[in-house]
Amino acid sequence: MLNIKKLTICLVIMLSFITTNVFASGQEEATMMEEDSKTITVAAGAVGTEFELAQDAAAAYMEMHPDVTVEILQTPDLTTDRLGLYLQFFESQSSEVDLYQIDVIWPGDIAEHLIDLNEYGAKEYTDAHFPSIIQNNTVDNRFVAMPWFTDAGLLYYRTDLLEKYGYNEPPTTWDELEMMAEKVMQGERAAGNQDFWGFVFQGNSYEGLTCDALEWVYSYDGGSIVEPDGTISINNPNAIEALEKAAGWVGTIAPDGVTGFAEEDARNMFQAGNALFMRNWPYAYSLGNSEGSAVKDKFGVSPLPSGKNNIRAASLGGWQLACSKYSKNPELAADVLFFFTSYEQQKKRAIEASYNPTIIDLYEDSEVLEATPFFGTLKDVFTSSVARPSTVTAPQYAQVSKVFYENVHDVLTNESTAERAVKNIELDISDIIE
Amino acid sequence: MKNTHHALKKSEQKLAFLLLLPSFIVLFTIAFYPLGSVFTKSFTNERFASSKKTEFVGLENYQKLLSLKIMELDPIGMDEQGSIIYEDPIDILPRKPNRYKEVSQFSIFNKHFVFSATDPDFIQSIGDTLLFTILSVSLETIFGMIIALIMVKNFPGRGGMRVAMLVPWAIPTAVSSKMWEWMFSSTRVGVVNVVSQWFGITNGQFPWLTNADTQIWAMIAIDVWKTTPFMALLIMAGLQTIPKGIYEAAKIDGCNGWQNFWKMTLPMVKDTITVALVFRTLDALRVFDLFQIVFAQKRYSMASYSYYQLIDNKLMGYSSATSVIIFFIILLFIIIYTKMSGGVNNE
Give per-residue pLDDT as tens, A225-237: 999 889 999 999 9
Query: Does A2 reach chain B within 8 Å, measured CB to CB?
Result: no
State how far the Cα of A101 lies from the Cα of A149, in Å rounded to an integer. Answer: 10
Domain match, A176 and A261 both: yes
Neighbours of A241 (CB within 10 A): 18
CB A374 within 8 A of CB A156: no
Single-letter residue type at A35:
E
The verdict on a CB contact (< 8 Å) between A113 and B296 is no
Which one, of A198, A181, A207, lies nearest residue A409 by Cα?
A: A207
| Among A91, A205, A265, beta carbon nearest to B49 | A91
Cα Rg, chain A, nearest whole Å: 25
Domain match, A297 and A416 both: yes
Side-chain-side CA neighbours of residue A274 (13 Å):
17
Can you say whether the dihedral through the CA atoms of B282, B283, B284, B285 is positive or negative? positive
CB pairs under 8 A between A and B: 100
Domain match, A228 and A166 both: yes
Domain match, A401 and A414 both: yes
Single-letter residue type at B136:
S
Residues from chain A that touch B208, judged by Cβ atoms under 8 A, are 260
pTM for this predicted structure: 0.81
Can you say whether the dihedral through the CA atoms of A81, A86, A87, A92 is positive or negative? positive
Q: Structural domain boundaries of chain B?
A: 68-118, 121-346
Q: What single string gives the DSSP state of each residue in B19-74?
A: HHHHHHHHHIIIIIHHHHHHHHHTTB--BTT--SPP-B-TTHHHHHHH-EEEEEE-
> Which residue of B187, B191, B214, B292 to mutate against A (max A Cβ within 10 Å)?
B187
A78 belongs to a structural domain: yes
> Which residue of A18, A105, A205, A415 to mutate against B (max B Cβ within 10 Å)?
A205
| Among A4, A256, A260, beta carbon nearest to B14 | A4
Which one, of A352, A420, A333, A386, lies nearest residue A135 by Cα?
A: A386
State how far the Cα of A176 lies from the Cα of A304, in Å rounded to an integer. Answer: 12
Q: Residue A341 to residues A53, A60, A185, B81, B321: CA-CA distances in angstroms?
A: 12, 13, 44, 63, 42
In B127-199, the DSSP E strands lie at: none
Domain match, A113 and A228 both: no
State how far the Cα of B67 lies from the Cα of B99, in Å rounded to an integer. Answer: 10
Domain match, A102 and A160 both: no
pLDDT of B1 reads: 54
Letter string b/e over residues A340-366, b meaning 16 or more CB atoms within 10 A of that residue's CB: bbbeebbbbbbbebbbbbbbeebbebe
The verdict on a CB contact (< 8 Å) between B314 and A427 is no
Stretches where chain B sits below pLDDT 70 are 1-4, 342-347
Q: Which residues pair with B71 in a beta bridge?
A: B114
Stretches where chain A sits below pLDDT 70 are 1-37
pLDDT-above-70 percentage for chain A: 91
A5 belongs to a structural domain: no
Can you say whether the dihedral through the CA atoms of B199, B202, B204, B206 is positive or negative? negative
pLDDT of A430 reads: 92
CB B84 within 8 A of CB B107: no
A7 belongs to a structural domain: no
A401 belongs to a structural domain: yes
State how far the Cα of A203 lies from the Cα of A213, in Å rounded to an integer. Answer: 9
Which residue in chain B has the smallest CA separation from A87?
B49
Domain match, A203 and A333 both: no
Domain match, A173 and A269 both: yes
* Domain membership of residue A380 as a residue range: 35-151+317-386
Residue A189 neighbours by CB under 8 Å, 6+ apart: A196
State how far the Cα of A129 lies from the Cα of A146, in Å rounded to an integer. Answer: 9
Distance from CA of B271 to the nearest CA of A (A): 40
Helix (H) or strand (E) holding A385, with range, is strand A385-386
Q: Say which CATH number the domain at A273 has.
A: 3.40.190.10
3-class state of residue B303 by DSSP: helix
3-class state of residue B260 by DSSP: helix
Which residue in chain A has the smallest CA separation from B309?
A399
A427 belongs to a structural domain: yes
Domain match, A245 and A358 both: no
Domain match, A198 and A310 both: yes
Which one, of A351, A348, A358, A347, lies nearest residue A321 by Cα?
A: A358
Domain match, A265 and A133 both: no
pLDDT digits 0-9 by tens, A282-305: 888 888 888 889 999 999 999 999
Q: Which residues pair with A2 in a beta bridge?
A: none
A76 belongs to a structural domain: yes
The rounded Cα B136 to chain-centroid distance in angstroms is 8
pLDDT-above-90 percentage for chain A: 65
Neighbours of B101 (CB within 10 A): 21
Quote the number of domains for chain A: 2
In A15-165, the DSSP E strands lie at: 39-44, 69-74, 99-103, 138-139, 142-143, 145-152, 154-158
Domain match, A262 and A193 both: yes
pLDDT-above-70 percentage for chain B: 97
- Asked: is B121-346 a CATH 1.10.3720.10 domain? The reply is yes
Helix (H) or strand (E) holding B75, with range, is strand B75-78
Which 8-state DSSP code applies to residue B93? S
ipTM: 0.77
3-class state of residue A276 by DSSP: strand
Residues from chain B that touch A422, judged by Cβ atoms under 8 A, are none
State how far the Cα of B169 lies from the Cα of A169, in Å rounded to an integer. Answer: 54
pLDDT digits 0-9 by tens, A377-416: 888 888 888 899 998 898 889 889 999 999 999 999 998 9
pLDDT of A3 reads: 57
Residues from chain A that touch B11, judged by Cβ atoms under 8 A, are 1, 4
